[in-house]
Structure 1
Amino acid sequence: MGLSADQLRAGLDALGAVEPAIAAAIRRVGYPEPRIRERGYATLLRTIVGQQVSVASANAVWRRLDEVLGDAGDPARVMAASDEELRAAGLSRQKSGYARSLADEVTSGRLDLAHLPEDDEAAVAALVRVKGIGRWSAEVYLLFAEGRPDIWPAGDLAVQIEIGRILGHEARPSEALTRTLAEGWRPHRGALAIFTWHHYGAGPDAAPV
């Protein structure tokens, strides 16, 4: 489970107490809604399905995949499916390969999504061993599906943009700078990441005056 509304509020209040710019941003746009996904294989497969396509397209492919396989959330069904069946569901050759890689890691037991390492970096490393799962996908999974409180996806463009806006930077901070800036915000960086997406959705009016 992801971070609850109470956890988000507590984390952001703690950050606002030490960083006035964050406190001001919270006053402008309010607290974000939780972003919660189910833990496990299906959520990671949906992440692969949704890469480089719109939400509507990803949902349509997922529905077709579920129809073709009988249960898209069962990795054994992907392993048993033919390439033609996966293409019929809307998966490209590349995504079919990624889906098979994930299914193989899970069915073989090499990737145990119920018992990922407690250390965040070790958990990221375990996930990115799967073809098609990069660092951003791994971090978002750990934040949304496991509710790890200190995940900080510094490579996310919206996170970079909004940290720059919240702190009053003239230019968007680089990934390296975004990561450095957040060192003092441990152990609540996950709540702040979710807040930056909320702040991004508020548009230019959320910028400091």
Structure 2
Amino acid sequence: MQLRSQQDLDHSMERLLSLDDRLQNVRDACLPGPIALRQREKGLAGLLAIVLAQQVSVASARAIWGRFSEAFPDCDVDVIAGTSDEDLRALSLSRPKVRTVRAICTALQDGFDLAALVEMPGDEAHARLCSLHGVGPWTADIYLLFCLGHRDIFPAGDLALQVAVGKGLGLADKPDAKSVARIASDRWTPERSAAAHLFWAYYHALKAGRDGVL
């Protein structure tokens, strides 16, 4: 099952709350209204937008992606691959991100199939994405969750989720990525994507309007 619509997420959220009764208070803190489904464009454009947003502020990420998408409106892999490093750097891409963009484009030209990831089990799809140079666990999680709608993904390395899980579960200290991953795996499988949406909404409520991710 994938989360393709708001109704899909609503049903997944109901199942999640039945798995862990501690989450009802977290859900209540996000009322009124449903927990909104987050969706992004799939394919190369979606993956590159996530890559370019890494380790920069939300405002900077939007500005960088705006310049990039204006330069490459069709996000054509061959056009991007044929662009010089200097021209990519002129779009405010750091040298490491230029290398990652090039590596992803080269992989796609060599036959890496982003579309096939939607049919793979989450762990397998995650491993395939992480095999790309410059694509780490967080990037893979966000792509699988937001772009492909995988049902059972929890980006444990996301700092906003770590804060929200710590607060929502009443933990004494902010849990690290390993601890959050263990909690999610033990208590929220196979509805971890709904849990991620829930705790991002909870973080938003805690921070009075600040989103944890774009």
**TM-score when scaled to structure 2?**
0.86
Q: 1:2 to 1:178 in 2, by over 3 A?
A: same
Tell me, in whole angstroms, the C-alpha distance in 2 between the residues paired with 1:16 and 1:199. 14
Letter aligned with residue 193 of structure 1: A
Q: 1:2 to 1:88 in 2, by over 3 A?
A: farther
Identity of paired residues, percent? 36
Q: Contact (CA 8 Å) 1:3, 1:191: kept in 2 or not?
A: no
Q: Contact (CA 8 Å) 1:15, 1:23: kept in 2 or not?
A: no
Q: Which has the larger radius of gyration?
A: 1
Letter aligned with residue 73 of structure 1: C
Q: 1:115 to 1:27 in 2, by over 3 A?
A: same
The residue that corresponds to 1:143 in the other structure is 145
Superposed CA RMSD in Å reads 2.0
Q: Secondary structure at the match of 2:22?
A: helix
The residue that corresponds to 1:24 in the other structure is 25
Within the candidate set 39, 42, 58, 2:42 is matched to 39
Q: CA shift at 1:20, angstroms?
A: 2.0
Give unpaired runs (5+ residues) of structure 1: none
Q: CA shift at 1:85, angstroms?
A: 1.4
Within the candidate set 189, 197, 201, 1:198 is matched to 201
Q: CA shift at 1:124, angstroms?
A: 0.9
Q: CA shift at 1:72, angstroms?
A: 5.6
Q: Contact (CA 8 Å) 2:3, 2:9: kept in 1 or not?
A: no
**TM-score when scaled to structure 1?**
0.88
Letter aligned with residue 200 of structure 1: Y
Q: Contact (CA 8 Å) 2:29, 2:205: kept in 1 or not?
A: no
Q: Contact (CA 8 Å) 1:32, 1:194: kept in 2 or not?
A: yes
| Deviations 1:105-145, CA, capped at 9 Å, x for gaps | 11211x20110261211111111122221101100100001
Could you list the structure 1 runs, at least 4 aligned residues long, displaced by more than 4 angstroms after superposition: none
Tell me, in whole angstroms, the C-alpha distance in 2 between the residues paired with 1:167 and 1:89. 42
Give unpaired runs (5+ residues) of structure 2: 209-214
Within the candidate set 49, 52, 57, 1:49 is matched to 52
Tell me, in whole angstroms, the C-alpha distance in 2 between the residues paired with 1:89 and 1:164. 37
Q: Contact (CA 8 Å) 1:65, 1:72: kept in 2 or not?
A: no
